């Protein structure tokens, strides 16, 4: 893992680093591709966005302990918070469906809070909102500063672009 981090630091920009980090997750994320496609088709969500979130949040469950993250605050492929009535098992279609519905709800919250933002800005806001709540999204220029490791939305969207190029 340290070697991967060093490679990413050597990348010329954050997008390339995100792509390099998404690449080794491909095999794990691909295991869930049929479920991702089915869930997103029913909810009018781009499957690449979910693939990007899964890559960032759980690396296709490689970074989880029985479905939980290290501090037990997020569960499953998309690391849905405890407050979201979690559905087991962590990698089931029902779990993905529930987590995706939470994300689409967050998109609606951000659209309502920031109607003048572009669709791209609203998606970025919703991705951060998914993990941190609407009150933590205040201004677009600082959206990543308000997120885990100061790059959450940018990283997820860059990973989503990577997966989109891989037919998600």
What pTM was estimated for this model as a whole?
Answer: 0.80
Residue 75 DSSP one-character state = E
Q: Identify the band that residue 59 occupies on the pLDDT scale cut at 50, 70 and 90.
A: confident
Residue 42 bridge partners (DSSP) = none
**Over residues 110-133, mean pLDDT:** 88
Say which CATH number the domain at 144 has. Answer: 1.10.530.10
Structural domain range at position 87? 2-165
Kindly report the average pLDDT of the chain as a whole number: 80
Number of domains in the chain: 1
Higher pLDDT, 63 or 128: 128
> DSSP assignment, residue 136?
G
| Mean pLDDT of the region 59-73 | 72
Alpha carbon 102 to chain centroid distance? 12
pLDDT above 70 coverage of the chain, percent: 76
Can you name the residues that pair with 65 across neighbouring β-strands?
68
Neighbour-count burial of 108, counting CB atoms closer than 10 A to its CB (0-12 exposed, 13-18 middle, 19+ buried): exposed
- Assess whether the previous peptide bond of 89 is cis (omega < 30° from 0): yes
pLDDT at residue 83, as a whole number: 60
């Amino acid at each position: 893992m340290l070697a991967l981090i060093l490679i990413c630091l050597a990348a010329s920009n954050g997008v390339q680093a995100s792509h390099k980090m998404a690449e080794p997750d491909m095999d794990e994320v691909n295991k869930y591709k049929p479920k991702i496609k089915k869930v997103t088709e029913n909810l009018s969500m781009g499957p690449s966005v979910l693939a990007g979130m899964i890559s960032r949040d759980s690396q296709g469950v490689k970074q989880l302990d029985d479905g939980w993250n290290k501090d037990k605050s997020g569960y499953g492929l998309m690391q849905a918070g405890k407050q979201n009535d979690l559905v087991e098992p962590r990698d089931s279609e029902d779990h993905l469906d529930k987590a995706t519905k939470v994300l689409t709800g967050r998109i609606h919250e951000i659209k309502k809070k920031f109607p003048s933002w572009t669709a791209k800005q609203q998606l970025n806001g919703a991705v951060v909102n998914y993990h941190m709540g609407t009150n933590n999204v205040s201004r677009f220029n600082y959206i990543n500063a308000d997120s885990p490791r100061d790059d959450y939305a940018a990283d997820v969207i860059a990973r989503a672009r990577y997966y989109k190029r891989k037919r998600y």
